[in-house]
Amino acid sequence: MASKPDFTPQAVSAPGKVFLAGGYLVLDRAYTALVFGLDARIHVHVEPIQTKSGVTLSEVIVKSPQFRGAVWEYGYRLTEGDGGIAVHPLRASHDTPLSKNPFIETALSYALSYISTLLPSSSIPPTQISILASQAYYSNPGKPPSTTSTSPFLNFDVSLSSAHKTGLGSSAALVTAFTASVLSYYLPRSLFDMTTPQSQEILHNLAQASHCAAQGKVGSGFDIASAVYGSCFYRRFTPSLLSSLPAPATAGFAPKLKALVENTDAVWDTEIRKAAIEMPKGLRLVMCDVDCGSETPGMVKKVLKWREENQALADKIWGDLQKGNEDLAKEITRIATSGSGDSGHKYAKLREQFTKNRALIRQMSKESGVPIEPPQQTALLDACSKVPGVIGGVVPGAGGYDAIVLLLEDKEDVIGELKKLLDGWKDDGKGEDGVKIGKVGILGVREDMVGVRKEDPALYKEWITL
């Protein structure tokens, strides 16, 4: 028999992500992607809500204290017909509008429903959950919560809807950290221990299911995979895996969710090779934020439509890109394992591979009419690649006007020269699409090989009392 959870405060963080290779290709199981985790993390802290003696609550209060008015309150109840736990938003008062956050609401419903299948006779006590994000997820400047603060988190002093994201995968990191923290809080370690491969697989499958449900579509899942496992090679799961899962609170949802999560109903065919990628000593990733942003879903739809209508040409480009991506990964691995030669010669093939891959991406951009690497970003990447010590870079993922990623030598003088370039960077004219990129700056992030992990709850003391 499983031991009972002790309901002590729990804290979990999950990393953001960046594609170094495999944008768009990752949507098709015939291709793979090279995804790096980032040390920019979403943190989630869970603690009990203290109630007066004799008072029973069925409530979860979720706060994101770095933003104005970011509070969501939920009631929950066990439904009939094995429907799992139904979660519904509550109003803090009659004077405040009903606040919705589909990612939090769905992740909470899925996690509590899964928990109910493992502990069917146990009650679910009320909790307060706090969410905190690294500065790098947002372009908005932040400030310490107080003049004496030692917290690594900043107060953004805007509403969440007004915050400008930098495209590091905040929703996937949130769903992963949120799900892991709720499972860690409500379940005994005999049923969920985040440090074990079995529990990591459960977390991955549950987070994938809830993230897709919250998005309203079945994505490739690379962002959840990197949030759970960190940097890895990734091949997507078959989308139909999730097609038989009923909606939360409908008949049979809970047992079908359990079978899906525990891999007993349908086999997850995701391929995640964490051990196959290693960052060479002396190199690092740098993200450069372009204060503009892109509408990723619309871009993806247009590229997929173009591919459908131009199958032969698209397959040729995608095939060449897949080979280029594999060659890039092999060269990074070769450098990591050999580590010989002077930097100029050692990185020559890697530089060449970045150049080839970018040419293919620009070809796909031109043929599809989608700004995957638009001229404004081409000019910026070309200039950055000429800085001594910069190996190369790409517009990651779906492309457009989000942050760019660079691979460079991990030296202060290289970072210094890059910063000088970006500080004086100007987009002198609008491209044909009418877009003019704004200020460009280096984000305070680098690669992180580690995925989801437990944190010390004391780290958030300044924030959970606000």
- For residue 340, the model assigns a pLDDT of 56
Domain co-membership, 105 together with 232: yes
Instruction: Say how far apart CA 46 and CA 164 lie, in whole Å.
Output: 26
- CATH, residue 227: 3.30.230.10
Same domain, residue pair 120 and 42: yes
User: 3-class SS at 33?
Assistant: strand
What pLDDT score was predicted for residue 430? 53
Nearest to 388 by CA among 337, 347, 331: 347
Do the domain assignments include residue 268? yes
- The CATH number for 320's domain is 3.30.70.890
Q: Which class for 172: exposed (0-12), middle (13-18), buried (19 or more C-beta within 10 A)? A: buried
- Take residue 226 and report the two structure tokens written for it: 């990197």
| Pair (270, 341) in one structural domain | no
Give the chain's domain count.
Answer: 2
Q: Is residue 271 exposed (0-12), middle (13-18) or buried (19+ Cβ within 10 Å)?
A: middle
Q: 218 with 308, same domain?
A: no
Domain check: are 89 and 169 in the same one? yes
- Residues 6+ away with beta carbon under 8 Å from 28: 236, 318
Other beta carbons less than 10 A from residue 411's beta carbon: 14
Pairwise CA distance, residues 285 & 410, whole Å? 8
Q: Which structural domain range is residue 315 located in?
A: 283-442
> What is the number of alpha carbons within 13 Å of residue 375 lying toward its C-beta?
12
The 3-state DSSP class for residue 286 equals: strand
Per the domain annotation, does 96 fall within a domain? yes
**Which tokens is 20 given?**
């170094």
**Could you tell me if 257 and 110 are in contact, meaning their C-beta atoms sit under 8 angstroms apart?**
yes
Output the six-digit token pair for 16: 């953001």
162 & 289 share domain: no
d(CA 244, CA 261): 13
3-state DSSP assignment of residue 289: strand
pLDDT per residue rounded down to tens, the chain (466 residues): 456 667 899 999 999 999 899 999 999 999 999 999 999 999 999 999 876 555 456 899 999 999 999 999 999 999 999 999 999 998 766 666 667 899 999 999 999 999 999 999 888 999 999 999 999 898 888 899 888 888 999 999 999 988 888 778 899 999 999 999 999 999 999 999 999 999 999 999 999 999 999 999 999 999 999 999 999 989 999 999 998 899 999 999 999 999 999 998 778 999 998 877 889 999 999 999 876 655 566 899 999 999 999 999 999 999 999 999 989 988 998 898 886 555 567 899 999 999 999 999 999 999 999 999 999 999 999 999 999 999 999 999 888 887 899 999 999 999 999 999 999 887 765 556 667 777 888 988 999 999 999 999 999 999 986 4
- Does residue 4 lie within any of the structural domains? no
Q: d(Cα 37, Cα 226) in Å, to the nearest integer?
A: 6
Give a yes or no: residue 458 inside a domain: yes
Cβ atoms of 218 and 268 within 8 Å: the answer is no
- Which DSSP string corresponds to 113-134? HHHHHHSTTS----EEEEEEE-
Closest by CA position to 450, among listed 20, 13, 35, 37:
37
> Are residues 99 and 26 part of one domain?
yes
Asked whether residue 221 is assigned to any structural domain, the reply reads: yes
Task: Please tell me the distance from the alpha carbon of residue 282 to that of residue 68, in angstroms, as a whole number.
Answer: 41
The bridge status of strand 59-63 relative to strand 127-133 is: parallel
442 burial (CB, 10 Å; 0-12 / 13-18 / 19+) is middle
What distance in Å separates the CA atoms of residue 151 and residue 149, rounded to the nearest whole number?
Answer: 6
Domain-located, residue 1: no
Look at the chain and count its residues: 466
Give me the amino acid identity at 337. T
| Position 2 in a domain | no
Do 210 and 74 reside in the same domain of the chain? yes
Q: Is residue 168 located within the same domain as residue 209?
A: yes
What phi and psi values does residue 295 have, to the nearest 5 degrees?
-95, 90
* φ, ψ at 78 (rounded to 5°): -80, 130
* Helix (H), strand (E) at residue 463: helix 461-464
Q: How far apart are the first and last CA of the chain?
A: 39
Question: Residues 140, 207: one domain?
Answer: yes
Contacts of 205 (CB under 8 A, 6+ apart): 260, 261, 262, 263, 268
Q: Long-range pairs for 97-105 at CB < 8 Å and ≥24 separation?
A: 99/69, 99/71, 99/72, 100/72, 101/62, 101/72, 102/214, 103/171, 103/174, 103/175, 103/178, 103/211, 103/214, 104/62, 104/72, 104/131, 104/174, 104/178, 105/72, 105/74, 105/214
Q: Do both 433 and 460 map to the same domain?
A: no
Region class of 173: left (phi > 0), else alpha (psi between -120 and 50), else beta: alpha
Any domain includes 3? no
Residues 179 and 321 in one domain: no
Does residue 301 sit in helix, strand or coil? Answer: helix
